[in-house]
Amino acid sequence: MKIEKIVLKKIELSMKNPFRTKRGSLTSRPLIIVEARDDTGLTGYGEVTAFPDPFYTYETTSTAWHVLEDFLIPLFAENTLSHPEQVPEILDSIQGHPMAKAGLEGAVWDLYAKQKDRSLASLIGGTRKSVRAGAVLSLSDHIEQDISDLQEEGYERYKLKIIKGKEQEMIEKVRASSPDLPIMIDGNGQYDETDMDHLAALDRYGMLMIEQPFRAGDFHLHQQLQKRMRTPICLDESITSFEDAVQAVELGSCRIINVKISRVGGLTAAKKIHDFCAASGVPVWCGGMVESGISKAHNLALASLSNFSIPGDLSGSARYFESDIVQPPLKVEKGALAVPQYPGIGIDVDKEKLAEVTQQSSVHTLS
């Protein structure tokens, strides 16, 4: 496949309400949009979903921009590319930085699918025409109203962001207003070994899962907790590669895996994790990163694969932002989002809106 130019655009989207977790708060969302252009006028779009501060992983918007410009994009000029699955190998000489790599690879996948005149979902073997949506509830003072609004839209799974020591209070608050709501909590790695009994006691709530209670990479503590609980442990930050997923499953550190394209380095790795988990009988779901419609469209393609059996963090365009950069906006209808069937990621980028929110850009000619 021929790529003529790579264009980077640093954007910032205004949020409807602050998105708060234990680790940070967002009132606007900076992102990097990656464009891969060929000599026929086609453009593929990817997105780097790193946050402005290193509270989720070590990557930030600034470090991703630096790594893309100075290391990753130059490698494209030095290598011949015929298929997006070659991208991880081409970028392998650069250690780490999966979010930067995922944004670049995403643009290549979108361009390749457009060149082949196929939807990205069908190209990777996706079969679902729609995927069930799950919502993320941040730390807010109006959670009951948030839940009511989301139930009206049909969301089928609710993830609660919690603060260590106050999780029971929040669970009971939600259960008091919505006793049968399918909920899970996201620990974001707040807990340590001294919290083992406290976490095991949460079994009584019969939640869908507990996501990432211990720090990233601690497969041992997660294994020990999973042995004590009926509630499935789900790993998020611990899974940064295919090898991490294999280790987690074979050690019994979890019973569910949250797959995020950006966290594992791209769609190629995400699909490989899906395939392994499917063969191992471990269900997966697609995580979100408070991203624009470009990244959401990539997620929808991924979530169309058969083993994504749990509703993911797949909200509509209007969930977080005043306005998105895609047209038409992605919408949750009766608890699901349609998987785009047009070529590539299957949605149009609003170029006027993209230009309006772009704060910095750079063009890199490859040939």
Choosing from 260, 334, 351, 353, which is the catalytic residue? 260
Domain residue limits, the chain: 5-118+348-365, 122-338
DSSP state of 248: H
Tens digit of pLDDT for each residue in 66-112?
Answer: 999 999 999 988 888 999 999 999 999 999 999 999 999 999 999 99
Fold that domain 5-118+348-365 belongs to in CATH: Enolase-like; domain 1 (3.30.390)
Does the pTM surpass 0.85? The reply is yes
Kindly give, in sequence order, each residue whose CB lies less than 8 Å from that of residue 190, ignoring residues fewer than 6 positions away: 22, 163, 164, 213
Beta bridge partners of 326: 349
Mean pLDDT of 222-245: 97
User: Would you call 334 a catalytic residue per the annotation?
Assistant: no
Joined together, the tokens standing for residue 286 give 């697609």
Phi/psi of residue 86, nearest 5 degrees: -80, -15
Rounded-to-10 torsion of CA 128, 255, 143, 329: -20
Using CA atoms, how far apart are residues 228 and 365, in angstroms rounded to an integer?
A: 55
Determine which of 109-113, 177-181, 209-213 has the lowest per-residue pLDDT on average: 177-181
Could you write out the DSSP letters of every residue in 259-295?
Answer: E-HHHHTSHHHHHHHHHHHHHHT--EEE---S--HHH
User: Would you call 296 a catalytic residue per the annotation?
Assistant: no
Kindly give, in sequence order, each residue whose CB lies less than 8 Å from that of residue 235, ignoring residues fewer than 6 positions away: 211, 212, 222, 248, 253, 254, 256, 257, 258
Tens digit of pLDDT for each residue in 280-316?
Answer: 999 999 999 999 999 999 999 999 999 999 999 888 8
Choosing from 114, 161, 271, 296, which is the catalytic residue? 161
> 122-338: CATH homologous superfamily?
Enolase-like C-terminal domain (3.20.20.120)
Q: What does the chain come to in residues? A: 367
